[in-house]
A and B are shown apart, each in its own frame.
Chain A
Amino acid sequence: MTSSSNASADDRSATVAGESLGREAWRRLRQNRAAMASLVMLGVMTLACVVGPWLLPWGLAEVDWNAFGVPPTLEGNHFLGTDANGRDLLTRTLHGGRISLSVALVATLVSLVIGVLYGAIAGYMGGRVDSLMMRFVDIMYSLPFMFLVILLMVVLGRNILLIYAAIGAVEWLDMARIVRGQTLSLKRREFIEAAHALGVRDSKIVLRHLIPNSVGPVIIYVTLTVPKVILLESFLSFLGLGVQEPLTSWGVLISEGTSNMQGAPWMLIVPAVFLAVTLFCLNFLGDGLRDALDPRTR
């Protein structure tokens, strides 16, 4: 680690900068079977959630008065059973997927955009800037989340978009700390100091060198965030902020299922399987993406 010519080997961004990054990464991703299968699966899942409810015989709020809490059956076309209110569980799960998948997407975007940028800037700038930025993160961690949520509701009224705002407000914190940690370590490496010495602008160093080199932990942490926010959403619903009946989400369905776990296990298993499949796919895809974006590990 002494000569600056060797340093570029550490710098992933140097080899995959610019236009070729996307195409190159995509080519590598396509070679990863598990990742591609996951991508297809996620696509199918999303499609099912968007289109599925229209194709099923039961409506979201439609009650089958003859079928309160029945297990999966072909009778009455309740392929995955009904909930305690006699509503078709498959219909509700697919509907719930719309909310949950979009919550996951937003949380991911927020933690990627705000969290990564914030962390990288704090770490790179260091000193007083870092200190102030990180104290702000500490403050955000310490504020009582529930009151934050309730006040959001008061100020902005009941609106489904609020779920995204509330979740977005907290989900970038961990990411910011992780990326900052990585940046603190990276910025002393030769390739950054070299770039600095060559007069590369700070913004470019952050965007082109620091962030791409933190991509591994970032992708993994994003995939870990998804289940967290999907379940967090059900707590928001409890407070009256999240989805309101008859709308639903996987988090809400899972917590409903939990209270019926022993008498009517399908009410838990159905949404839980949807969630689990999504998570497994996201993880394989995440691993694949990480590899694809990393030129050194072929």
Chain B
Amino acid sequence: MLNYIAKRLAMAIPTLWIVITLSFFLMRIAPGGPFDGERQLPPEIEANLMAAYHLDEPLWMQYLRYMGNLLQGDFGPSFKYKDFSVTELIMQGFPVSLELGALAIGLALLLGLPMGVMAALKRNTALDYSLMGVALGGIAIPNFVIAPLMALFFGVILGWLPVGGWNGGALPNLVLPVVALAIQQIAYVARMMRASMIEVLGSHYIRTARAKGLQEYEVILRHALRPAMLPVLSYLGPAIAGIITGSVVIEQIFGLPGIGRYFVQGALNRDYTLVMGTVVFYGVLIVLMNLIVDLLYSLFDPQIRYDD
């Protein structure tokens, strides 16, 4: 097992290197530059800017420079947010996104898993239909629609909760964004859990367990639940990486200082260093989450082993 982890971590390095290299050139070949905007800059000012960011050097040299700095842990300064380095921006925003994302995932599992299990057990009953109807609603209504409506209803009309702002992560400020983030995830988890639970309940070894005369709850908790979670687990790896790195929609609607906006705005502004920072950060998370998921597989299904 440790051997496997070591191998995977060793592989993470070339994986990330490929990601960084591909992203660097993808980004730099794409049209539009960090200084293209509504106002064309006078040529001498553009020249100053290019020189200040070393954009006047050949691309391969810029790449080597970037990699060199990166190896020393330096992500460089943001092109747009001048008073912060990329590291500062990510380190300042990530705790916010992480807290929101972790709460949303927690909520999604807390509600989604039981919903899915219940629906599977009471399959094709009114309970099943109503649970899945609710879940479908969560999928059908995009969060850029539901979030402003929630803000309007609970914040403006009822006045129960703040409409926006982070406020140091105070509980009232967390409620609406977490719920808005979680709704879709609840629906995903519930739908997938229901399907794989049905699958597992029909399988041979559950029938065997039942035939042994085990109590139904025992069958479910001890034998069915864990293997049924495999597809959810597979889904969660990349999903968690995505959710804890924030959502630009939720952050803008609720005025939250997370890092989700950097992924979109960094790219739209062609803030090269910021884009690369987010790519590296996200890449590390993806690699890590997928590793954790792969390790959890063998915990959830002892038949899965990676020794070969």
Do any CB atoms of chain A lie under 8 A from CB atoms of chain B in the complex?
A: yes
A270 to B100, CA, bound (A): 32
CB contact under 8 A between A135 and B11, given known A174-B238, A217-B196: yes
- A182 pairs with B267, CB closer than 8 A: no
Least CB distance, A32 to chain B, in whole angstroms: 10
Q: Give residues 257-298 of A contacting B (CB, 8 Å).
A: 258, 261-262, 268, 272, 275-276, 279-280, 283, 290, 294, 296-297
CB contact between A138 and one of B227, B290, B304 (< 8 Å): that residue:
B290
Across the interface, name the chain B residue whose C-beta is closest to A254: B142
Instruction: Mark out the residues of chain A between 55 and 113 whose CB falls within 8 Å of any chain B CB in the assembled complex.
Output: none
Q: Which of A122-172 contact B (CB under 8 A)?
A: 126-127, 131, 134-135, 137-139, 141-144, 146-148, 150-151, 154
B198 pairs with A216, CB closer than 8 A: yes
Tally A residues with Cβ within 8 Å of B. Answer: 59
A48 CA to B233 CA in the complex, in Å? 39
Are A144 and B267 closer than 8 Å at their CB atoms? Answer: yes
A15 within 8 A of B: no
With a cutoff of 8 Å between Cβ atoms, the chain A residues found around residue B140 in the complex are 227, 272, 275-276, 279-280
- Residue A200 lies at the interface, judged by CB distance under 8 Å to chain B: no
Selecting from B172-180, B201-209, B213-221, the interface stretch reads: B201-209
Q: Does A21 contact B (CB under 8 A)?
A: no
Instruction: Indicate if the CB atoms of A224 and B144 lie closer than 8 Å.
Output: no
**Which residues, 252 to 308 on B, are CB-close (under 8 Å) to A?**
263-264, 267-268, 275, 278-279, 282-283, 286-287, 290, 293, 297, 301, 303-306, 308
Instruction: Look across to chain A and name the residue whose beta carbon is closest to the beta carbon of B229.
Output: A181
Complex partner residue of A144 from B23, B199, B306, CB under 8 angstroms: B23
Which residues of the other chain, B, contact A209 by a CB distance below 8 angstroms? none
CB distance from B85 to the nearest CB of A (A): 20
**Shortest distance between the CB of B45 and any CB in chain A (Å):** 26
User: What is the predominant secondary structure among interface residues of chain A facing chain B?
Assistant: helix
A147-B27, A185-B227, A220-B195 known; A177 and B237 CB under 8 Å?
Answer: yes
Closest to B4 in A: A131
Output the least CB separation between B160 and chain A (Å). Answer: 20
Q: Is the interface of B mostly helix, strand, loop or mixed?
A: helix
A-B contact count (CB 8 A): 170
A237 CB, nearest partner CB in chain B, Å? 15
| CB of B41 closer than 8 Å to a CB of A | no
List the B side residues contacting A146 at CB < 8 Å.
264, 267-268
Cβ–Cβ < 8 Å partners of A216 in chain B: 195-196, 198-199
A283: which of B18, B136, B234 is its contact (CB, 8 Å)?
Answer: B136
A1 at the interface (CB under 8 A from B): yes
Q: Is the CB of B142 within 8 A of A231?
A: yes
C-alpha spacing A223/B26, complex, angstroms: 31
- Which bucket holds chain B's interface residue count? 35 or more
Q: Are A150 and B30 in contact (CB under 8 A)?
A: yes
Q: Please list the residues of chain A having a beta carbon within 8 angstroms of any beta carbon in chain B.
A: 1, 6-7, 9-10, 126-127, 131, 134-135, 137-139, 141-144, 146-148, 150-151, 154, 173-174, 177-178, 180-182, 184-185, 188-189, 216-217, 219-221, 223-224, 227, 231, 254-255, 258, 261-262, 268, 272, 275-276, 279-280, 283, 290, 294, 296-297
- Known pairs A182-B231, A223-B191, A283-B136 / 16 extra A-B pairs, C-beta < 8 Å: A7-B204, A138-B286, A138-B287, A138-B290, A143-B22, A143-B279, A174-B235, A181-B293, A185-B301, A220-B192, A224-B191, A254-B145, A276-B141, A279-B140, A294-B202, A297-B198
List, sorted by A's number, 25 A–B pairs whose CB atoms are closer than 8 Å.
A6-B204, A7-B204, A131-B11, A139-B19, A143-B19, A143-B26, A146-B264, A147-B23, A147-B275, A148-B26, A154-B29, A177-B293, A178-B234, A181-B297, A185-B230, A189-B303, A217-B195, A217-B196, A220-B192, A220-B195, A224-B191, A227-B142, A258-B144, A283-B132, A283-B136
Residues of B within 8 A of A (CB): 7-8, 11, 14-16, 18-19, 22-23, 26-27, 29-32, 132, 136-137, 139-142, 144-145, 148-149, 152, 188, 191-192, 194-196, 198-199, 202-205, 207-208, 227, 230-231, 233-235, 237-238, 241, 263-264, 267-268, 275, 278-279, 282-283, 286-287, 290, 293, 297, 301, 303-306, 308
